[in-house]
Amino acid sequence: MSESAENFIKRTSEKFQKNLNEYKKSHKDCYLSCFPDINRKGKECFIREAWTFMLQFNIEEKVFIIERFKREKIQKPIRHKKLKIGQIEYRFGYYMVGQNGNRIGKWTWGGFCPFIPQEDLKRLINKAETENTIL
């Protein structure tokens, strides 16, 4: 493994913070995270306001993340009409050191919903609450 989990968390957190700071200054769309609507015609764009990282207790190559996003932009058409600018949403995810293809040995986003060990779930939620990621 080329980069420790601690260095990955520090580097990624600094990148997220820089992105947030730049968005606060400029409000440019390039700092938003945009996701296609379920209809694949519209999209929703969010700013990542807060995040919490935590290493899985029994795998040194897996880091959980809870992110708090605020909806900043909606490009219509969208399927769900009750979505509004300013609403908060949370994303649970994970990063792992890649084992395949061009991601071998590199930290990469986990493409599936995270499996979280019983020992880590409360610890992760508590950490996110302490860090004010979860409001």
Kindly report, residue by residue over 70-93, the tens digit of the pLDDT: 999 999 999 999 999 999 999 999
Residue 23 near residue 31, CB atoms below 8 Å: yes
Q: Mean pLDDT, to the nearest integer, of 14-33? A: 97
Condensed to tens digits (0 to 9), the pLDDT of residues 79-129 reads 999 999 999 999 999 999 999 999 999 999 999 999 999 999 999 999 999
Whole-angstrom distance, CA of residue 73 vs CA of residue 47: 9
Amino acid in position 91:
R
8: tokens are 């990955």
Q: Does some domain include residue 115?
A: yes
Q: Does some domain include residue 123?
A: yes
Q: Does some domain include residue 70?
A: yes
DSSP 78-98: -S-TT--TT-EEEEEEEEEEB
Q: Which residue has the tokens 């990542």?
A: 48
Q: In which domain, by residue range, is 88 found? A: 5-130
Examine the pLDDT at 39 and tell me if it is beyond 70.
Answer: yes
Q: Does some domain include residue 135?
A: no
Residue 50 pLDDT = 98
Examine the pLDDT at 35 and tell me if it is beyond 90.
Answer: yes
Pairing of strands 88-97, 33-36: unpaired
Residue 2 pLDDT = 78
* Total domain count, the chain: 1
Whole-angstrom distance, CA of residue 63 vs CA of residue 57: 9
Q: Does some domain include residue 64?
A: yes
Average model confidence (pLDDT) across the chain: 96
Confidence of residue 1 (pLDDT cuts 50, 70, 90): low
